[in-house]
Structure 1
């Protein structure tokens, strides 16, 4: 009988989470989908689950028809909380850190649109004469999205601040 702990066996090959393999990301997605499916069953909510792996992250999307009660879970703060709970479930099963992204009812797409509008308004302030424009604090994932949008618009950005106050500042390129 092996003297390895169960966690060591499960997390074998997962020590370097800097570059997870597609198989590892798919495993994360499967674990997350099982967790979310149980949650949906317990709460008597309807939803179809899709799993994708791209950019070094597992993406799990929960969608349903427009008349579904799933909209109860698609508020940004609720999605963020569910994502953290799902990540904990994945990390418990795999023994490794997870950068999983959860989308419920298109909430991530809606947030992407909000962030693009926020960047556009900030750029308008810069074009109107401001040296820079600071955005409100947001998660690292949202800051990454903002940095990408800013670069697409031909400007530069950097994250400033610590912890919950970490935010993005946009400047001319």
Structure 2
């Protein structure tokens, strides 16, 4: 982490000097005022320069990118990461060879990695971020599969006129099922059971 001590006739001037040397802006740094300085008589005699210590703040998004790279490397998969930020939601899209290893059965490995990325990004951050970790568009394909499953199971529930329970799913996947069926007036959906066995029930 880059850190610099700078001085100036005022605190503002000292900070500005440090920012120029670090080639950054004030919102990217942590500032520690060592000495506020003093003007002195007539601005000349006994004056003391202000001293500040300025260090580049950790960028939680960049740090999380590095973390994902390290974890996937340990799994013997080299990935390139494309990051997109929308408000406080960050999406990390991974591409590379052997990407199936990172997805796992029904996305279980990917979900576990996403959970770790969520912990990593919020560890030292003063903002709270939500995270989506994707691998070569898997999330989009999975969403289509789940929506198709939702409609198929809703039809089954109506045909048999009884409740149909789906397999356990993580919260965001259950949300996809709920959303897919929310406009069907003759169908109700609810979640049942305890994590990690919480699942959706569709009933007429």
TM-score by length of 2: 0.58
Equivalenced residues, count: 145
Deviation at 1:148, TM superposition (A): 1.2
**Which entry has the higher C-alpha Rg, 1 or 2?**
2
Q: Which runs of 5+ in 1 are unaligned?
A: 3-26
Find the aligned partners of 2:160 and 2:121 in 1 and give their Cα distance: 47
Task: Confirm or deny that 1:140 pairs with 2:161.
Answer: no
Aligned position for 2:102: 73
Q: Which has the higher contact order (CA 8 A, sep 6+)?
A: 1
Find the aligned partners of 1:29 and 1:161 in 2 and give their Cα distance: 34
Q: CA 1:77 to 1:165, structure 2 compared with 1: closer, same or farther past 3 Å?
A: closer
Q: Which structure dedicates a bigger proportion of its chain to strand?
A: 2
1:3-152 aligned within 5 A:
29-41=61-73, 45-54=77-86, 57-64=89-96, 68-75=97-104, 76-94=107-125, 98-151=129-182
Q: Which structure dedicates a bigger proportion of its chain to helix?
A: 1
Find the aligned partners of 2:75 and 2:195 in 1 and give their Cα distance: 33
**Partner SS for 2:123:** helix
Contact 1:158 1:169 in 2 (8 A): yes
Contact 2:190 2:200 in 1 (8 A): yes
**RMSD of aligned Cα (Å):** 2.9
**Partner SS for 2:202:** strand
User: Any idea what the Cα deviations from partners look like across 1:109-151, whole Å, max 9, x if unmatched?
Assistant: 2322331232122112123132332212111111111111122
Find the aligned partners of 1:90 and 1:129 in 2 and give their Cα distance: 46
Deviation at 1:43, TM superposition (A): 5.0
